[in-house]
Amino acid sequence: MRYVVLALAALLVVVAVAFGQAPDSQPVGTAPEPTTTPNIPPPADTPVPTATETPVDPSVPPDLAGIGWRDSQALGQPARKGRLRDGTQLPELGEDFFTWDPVYNQIPNRDWRRWGTDRLIRTIITVIHQYRSARDSAQRVGIMDLSRPHGGRFGRNYGGLGHASHQNGLDADILYPRKDGTETRATKPGQVDRKLAQDLVDRFVAAGAVKVFVGPHLHLKGPENVVVPLIYHDDHLHVRIR
Ligand SMILES: [Zn+2]
């Protein structure tokens, strides 16, 4: 009798296994597996990419945010044996400025012509932001050549008239604001908005510029030996910081 029971039990097991392996039952047997696997975290734990919120301080120029700041060093002199170590690049466009290629006469200036010390970049952007904040209808300010990525000579072989200085990341050429408010270079003194230009000059002087070269025909004023009229500067001003 015992053998009969065992034989029946064995038969039931065989039938059960055979039934379990039938194709129809496969999804039932395998489907629950993924949800019970402990290694898969619940959806709530999955990190979801979100936009980075940058708190905006009204006193801080927005254009400072996207810059790859480095602790830059100006070596040598602006017009003699100048080099730029760990230069910082001015972006091609900003909320308060555009860059202008002085050779091709177009926006933007090429990226290798836009390098300076971190202090120069910060000074330019801060001054221009304060200028535009005070005169909310003013056009963005155009910025032309700074220095090359590692400084050095920036003469005629780099296009246009070239520069005697601009060698160590302390010099920047800035376009004068125009009377017609367009974002382009003023090629004649009559196109320059002198009131706005004087405001820019005053602000660069207040920010500690050691030299501001201005056009001889524009009659812009400032401290003697700091604001200096110089030939070829009727279409842009040249700022040098310490
Ligand atoms: Zn210059």
**pLDDT tens digit sequence for 112-149:** 999 999 999 999 999 999 999 999 879 999 999 999 99
Has residue 61 got a pLDDT over 50?
yes
Helix (H) or strand (E) holding 79: none
Has residue 51 got a pLDDT over 90?
no
> Residue 162: which CATH number?
3.30.1380.10
Report the pLDDT value the prediction gives residue 65, as an integer from 0 to 100: 87
94 and 124 belong to one structural domain: yes
Please list the residues that pair with 84 across neighbouring strands.
74
95 and 212 belong to one structural domain: yes
Report the pLDDT value the prediction gives residue 44, as an integer from 0 to 100: 52
Report the pLDDT value the prediction gives residue 203, as an integer from 0 to 100: 98
CA pair distance 157, 149, nearest whole angstrom: 16
Report the pLDDT value the prediction gives residue 62, as an integer from 0 to 100: 85
Mean pLDDT, residues 201-215 = 98
Q: Which residue range forms the structural domain that includes residue 143?
A: 62-240
80 and 37 belong to one structural domain: no
Report the pLDDT value the prediction gives residue 11, as an integer from 0 to 100: 39
With respect to residue 53, please indicate whether it lies within any of the assigned structural domains: no
With respect to residue 56, please indicate whether it lies within any of the assigned structural domains: no
User: Ligand 1 centre and the CA of 183: distance in Å?
Assistant: 19
What is the percent of the chain where pLDDT is above 70? 76
- Which range has the worst mean pLDDT, 61-65, 76-80, 214-218? 61-65
Question: Is the distance from CB of 220 to CB of 193 less than 8 angstroms?
Answer: no
Residue of higher predicted confidence among 80 and 43: 80
DSSP notation for 135-174: STTPPPEEE---B-TTB--B-GGGSTT-BSS--SS-EEEE
232 and 206 belong to one structural domain: yes
Count of structural domains within the chain: 2
Output the six-digit token pair for 241: 């910081």
Has residue 14 got a pLDDT over 50?
no
Has residue 90 got a pLDDT over 70?
yes
User: Ligand 1 centre and the CA of 145: distance in Å?
Assistant: 7
Question: Is the distance from CB of 77 to CB of 105 less than 8 angstroms?
Answer: no
User: Ligand 1 centre and the CA of 193: distance in Å?
Assistant: 20
With respect to residue 51, please indicate whether it lies within any of the assigned structural domains: no
With respect to residue 92, please indicate whether it lies within any of the assigned structural domains: yes
Report the pLDDT value the prediction gives residue 47, as an integer from 0 to 100: 53
Report the pLDDT value the prediction gives residue 136, as an integer from 0 to 100: 80
The Cβ of residue 107 has, within 10 Å, a number of other Cβ atoms equal to: 15
16 and 89 belong to one structural domain: no
Mean pLDDT, residues 67-87 = 97
Nearest of 236, 235, 238, 232 to residue 210 by alpha carbon? 238
User: Ligand 1 centre and the CA of 56: distance in Å?
Assistant: 33
27 and 76 belong to one structural domain: no
User: Ligand 1 centre and the CA of 156: distance in Å?
Assistant: 13
230 and 131 belong to one structural domain: yes
137 and 88 belong to one structural domain: yes
User: Ligand 1 centre and the CA of 51: distance in Å?
Assistant: 40
168 and 114 belong to one structural domain: yes
Has residue 26 got a pLDDT over 60?
no
Q: Note the pLDDT tens digit of each residue in 156-195.
A: 999 999 999 999 999 999 999 999 999 999 999 999 999 9
84 and 172 belong to one structural domain: yes
Contacts within 8 Å (CB) and 24+ apart, 119-122: 119/72, 119/241, 120/88, 120/146, 120/169, 120/170, 120/171, 120/172, 120/241, 121/67, 121/88, 121/89, 121/90, 122/64
CA pair distance 56, 59, nearest whole angstrom: 9
Tell me the residue ranges of DSSP E strands in the chain: 73-77, 80-85, 88-89, 97-99, 115-116, 141-143, 171-174, 211-214, 227-229, 237-240
Output the six-digit token pair for 75: 């070596």
11 and 80 belong to one structural domain: no
Claim: this prediction has a pTM higher than 0.95: no
Has residue 9 got a pLDDT over 70?
no
User: Ligand 1 centre and the CA of 71: distance in Å?
Assistant: 23
114 and 211 belong to one structural domain: yes
User: Ligand 1 centre and the CA of 85: distance in Å?
Assistant: 20
